[in-house]
Amino acid sequence: MRIDILTLFPGMFRGPFDESIIKRAVDAGLVSINLHNIRDWAEGKHQVADDYVYGGGPGMVMKPEPVFAAMEAVLEMAPERGPVVLMTPAGRKFGHGLTVELAAAERLIVLSGHYEGFDARVHEHLATHEVSIGDYVLSGGELPAMVLVDAVVRQIPGALGSPDSVEEESFSAGLLEAPHYTRPPEFRGWQVPDVLLSGHHAEVDKWRRRQNLLLTARRRPDLLEGLPLSNEEKEWLSEQMEQGF
């Protein structure tokens, strides 16, 4: 997969992308991440990329010309085509479904704005998706772009060490994932649940699944709607709920 990110602040991405899973996926040739500074396509001695808001109002807006020029040049860099995602608090809420959809693309282009964001013509004529990472306003689209790219790269086959990892993660099964334990079996008097030390895989799987159900019912009951639970699971869960969890 090829990812291109158009931004005014490519330097913000370097630390997070040079560590851990993203770096491993890049080093393994599973994905290439290409950062492009929109200012490189801004004209004039000062390469101005933003301007006042028409009609008045605070802040600055990113001018369309450098963004369109950057996009056209970046598209020329590789033949693959794919979604163009613009990060904005006014976008659709990001979630697991879109992560999987984007990870299946050969190419992903991310438009990351700053200040008051992009001129509306960038939204209308360049973006295929407008995406928000949550109901809060950040200083720019850079952190949201990093969140999106991290979530997408993890879905690329081979990006995580074990092929099971993606499947087992929260949200692939539509449930929250209960906490894990590691050694020692007792720490400051707090015990690891016996079943996890039993070596009995089927029992461990059942216990984990039930913990996931319980956590989801407590914290995010909305996620349980429409999930295919077995009758046994439904009964067990309603028993737990009757007992006040």
* Residue 75, token pair as written in the block: 């598209």
133 binds ligand ADE (CB under 6 A): yes
Report the residue number, 84 or 214, with the smaller CB distance to ligand ADE: 84
Q: How far is the CB of 35 from ligand ADE (least distance, A)?
A: 17
- Write the CA distances from 64 to 1, 51, 60, 229, 236, integer angstroms: 27, 10, 12, 49, 57
Report the residue number, 82 or 89, with the smaller CB distance to ligand ADE: 89
Distance between CA atoms of 70 and 62, rounded to whole angstroms? Answer: 13
Q: How far is the CB of 116 from ligand ADE (least distance, A)?
A: 10
Report the residue number, 142 or 160, with the smaller CB distance to ligand ADE: 142
* Residue 214, token pair as written in the block: 């319980």
With CB under 6 A as the contact rule, the residue among 5, 67, 87, 98 that binds ligand ADE is 87
Report the residue number, 66 or 144, with the smaller CB distance to ligand ADE: 144
**Sign, Cα dihedral of 167, 172, 174, 177:** positive
By CB under 6 A, how many residues form the interface with ligand ADE?
11
Under rule CB under 6 A, which residues in 134-153 are in contact with ligand ADE?
134, 136-138, 141, 144
Neighbours of 225 (CB within 10 A): 7
With CB under 6 A as the contact rule, the residue among 89, 156, 192, 233 that binds ligand ADE is 89
Distance between CA atoms of 50 and 64, rounded to whole angstroms? Answer: 9
Stretch that binds ligand ADE, among 82-90, 194-202, 219-227, 228-236 (CB under 6 A): 82-90
Residues 6+ apart with CB under 8 A from 72: none
132 binds ligand ADE (CB under 6 A): yes
Query: In what side-by-side order are the strands of the sheet with 2-7?
Result: 32-37, 2-7, 107-112, 84-93, 129-132
155 binds ligand ADE (CB under 6 A): no
In the complex, the residues that contact ligand ADE under the rule CB under 6 A are 87-89, 132-134, 136-138, 141, 144
